[in-house]
Amino acid sequence: MAAVLTTTRLLGVGSYVPDKVLSNFDLERMVDTTDAWIVERTGIRERRIAPESMATSDLATRAAEGALEFAGRSASEVDLIIVATVTPDMMFPSTACLVQRKLGASSAAAFDVNAACTGFVYAVATASAFLSTGSYRLALVIGADTLSRITDWTDRATCVLFGDGAGAVVIESSSVNAPPGEILGSYLAADGTGWEVLMQPAGGSQMPASRETVDARLHSIKMNGNQVYKFAVRAMGNAVKECLSRCGLTCDDLDLLIPHQANMRIIEAAAQRLGVPESKVVVNIDRYGNMSSASIPVALDEAVRAGRLESGDIGVMVAFGGGLTWGATAFRW
C-alpha cells in the first residue's frame, strides 16, 4: 500500500527549567507586594530565573535533548527545528539556528515563530503542516523564553507574573493512520487590533534602542492586565471548542486540557465555561508562573511523565497571548 504522509505524531516530550527559584517572599523584598496578593490574584507561588550565563537557546537545547532522548532519536535525524519565543538570544540569527548548532542537528532547516504566549501552539501547527507534505520527516518544536530578561523588576503589576523555562516535543510524519500521539488538528487565530494590550515597545524598527528607550524602561513587558484577562477567558474557551469541533470532537471527549499558564483564575474560568472538571486540567503555574511559549510544553512534559495521559486519551493544548493571538491543538495520546 502506498504511504499516506498526512498524519503526524508526538514522539517525545522534554523540558528544562533553571535551578534558581524566585519566591513571592523574595519579591516582597523587591517591590510593594505580598505573597497573599500574588497567590490570591494569580495562583503563582514561585518562578524560575535563568543564570546570566544562559540565554534562551541554552534552555531550548536542554529541553530538546530531553525530548529527543524520550523519542529515542538522535539530533542528526531531525530535519526541521522551530523555536517559539519572544525572547530570542538576539534579533537575528534565529534562536532555532543557535539550537541547531548546539544540538549538532546539521541536517535541519531552522527558524523561529513569534506568536507571543501562543507561540508553541502556532509552532506545533506549523511543524505539523510541514511534516504532512512529506517533505520533512522529523521535527523538533521548542517553546522557550527567558522573560526575566525583559521584565521590569520595579513594576509590581507585571514582575510577579513571569518566569523562565523551555519545553520541547519531537514530531514525526507517519504513514500509519492512527498512531499513538497522533496530532488531530489545530485552530489558530489572531486579532491585530489588540496589539497594544501586551507588548515590548522598544528594540524593533518602530522604536529602535536608544538611551531614552532604556531610561524609560521601554524594553520591558507592558501590559493592560484587565483587558488581557477578559480576552483570555473568552479566547481559551473559543479555541478549545473550535479546535475540537474541527476534529469532529466535543468537550465531552476531552481527557486532558493543557492550558497556557498565565493566571490560575483565567484557567479556572475557562475550564468552568467549557464544563471541564479540575481533575482534567494540568496546572503548574504555582511553581513556574507564566513562561510564555514554554508554559504548555513544560506542562505537557510533566503531565506525560506523571502518567496523566493513557493510550488513546484526547488532549488539547490551548493558549492565548500578545498579538493578540490564540489557538489550540488536539491530539490522541
Q: Which is nearer to ligand COA, 79 or 155 (CB)?
A: 155
Name the residue with the smallest CB distance to ligand COA: 225
Q: Which is nearer to ligand COA, 154 or 250 (CB)?
A: 154
The span of 33-41, 71-79, 128-136, 245-253 binding ligand COA (CB under 6 A) equals: 33-41
Contacts of 30 (CB under 8 A, 6+ apart): 153, 159
- Catalytic one among 24, 114, 117, 238? 117
Q: How many angstroms separate the Cα of 226 from the Cα of each of 1, 197, 265?
A: 55, 9, 12
Does residue number 226 form part of the binding site for ligand COA (CB under 6 A)?
A: yes
The span of 58-66, 119-127, 219-227, 233-241 binding ligand COA (CB under 6 A) equals: 219-227
221 DSSP 8-state letter: -
One-letter identity of residue 9: R
- Rounded distance between C-alpha atoms, residue 94 and residue 82, angstroms: 10
Q: Is residue 284 annotated as part of the catalytic site, yes or no?
A: no
Binding residues for ligand COA restricted to 97-136, rule: CB under 6 A? 117
Q: Which is nearer to ligand COA, 196 or 212 (CB)?
A: 196
In the numeric block, the cell 516535543 is attached to 169
Q: Which is nearer to ligand COA, 170 or 324 (CB)?
A: 324
Candidates 55, 160, 169, 291: give the one binding ligand COA (CB under 6 A).
160
Does residue number 229 form part of the binding site for ligand COA (CB under 6 A)?
A: yes
Residue 23's CB is within 10 A of a number of other CB atoms, namely: 13
| Torsion, CA 156, CA 161, CA 163, CA 165, rounded to 10 | -160
**Could you tell me the three cell numbers for 53?**
550565563
Q: Counting runs of H as helices and runs of E as strands, what totals does the chain give?
A: 11, 13
Does residue number 24 form part of the binding site for ligand COA (CB under 6 A)?
A: no
- Check if the beta carbon of residue 297 is closer than 8 Å to that of residue 326: no
Candidates 7, 8, 15, 42: give the one binding ligand COA (CB under 6 A).
42
Q: Is residue 290 annotated as part of the catalytic site, yes or no?
A: yes
Judged on CB neighbours under 10 Å (0-12, 13-18, 19+), 268 is: middle
Does residue number 39 form part of the binding site for ligand COA (CB under 6 A)?
A: no
Does residue number 29 form part of the binding site for ligand COA (CB under 6 A)?
A: no
Residue 49 Cβ, how far from ligand COA at the closest point, in Å? 17
- Rounded distance between C-alpha atoms, residue 271 and residue 280, angstroms: 9
- Catalytic one among 97, 251, 260, 284? 260
Q: Which is nearer to ligand COA, 28 or 253 (CB)?
A: 28
Q: Is residue 117 annotated as part of the catalytic site, yes or no?
A: yes
**Could you tell me the three cell numbers for 296?**
504548555
Does residue number 45 form part of the binding site for ligand COA (CB under 6 A)?
A: no
Does residue number 156 form part of the binding site for ligand COA (CB under 6 A)?
A: yes
**For residues 27-43, b (16+ Cβ closer than 10 Å) or e, as one string?**
bbeeeebebeebeebbb
Which has the closest alpha carbon to 139: 114, 111, 180?
Answer: 111
Judged on CB neighbours under 10 Å (0-12, 13-18, 19+), 289 is: buried
Does residue number 37 form part of the binding site for ligand COA (CB under 6 A)?
A: yes
Q: Which is nearer to ligand COA, 139 or 317 (CB)?
A: 317
Q: How many angstroms separate the Cα of 208 from the Cα of each of 225, 236, 264?
A: 25, 33, 35
Residue 237 Cβ, how far from ligand COA at the closest point, in Å? 15
Residue 165 Cβ, how far from ligand COA at the closest point, in Å? 14
- Rounded distance between C-alpha atoms, residue 231 and residue 297, angstroms: 22
Does residue number 262 form part of the binding site for ligand COA (CB under 6 A)?
A: yes
The span of 30-38, 58-66, 93-101, 249-257 binding ligand COA (CB under 6 A) equals: 30-38
The residues binding ligand COA (CB under 6 A) are 33, 37-38, 41-42, 117, 156-157, 160, 198, 223, 225-226, 228-229, 232, 262-263, 290, 321
Tell me which residues are annotated as active site: 117, 260, 290
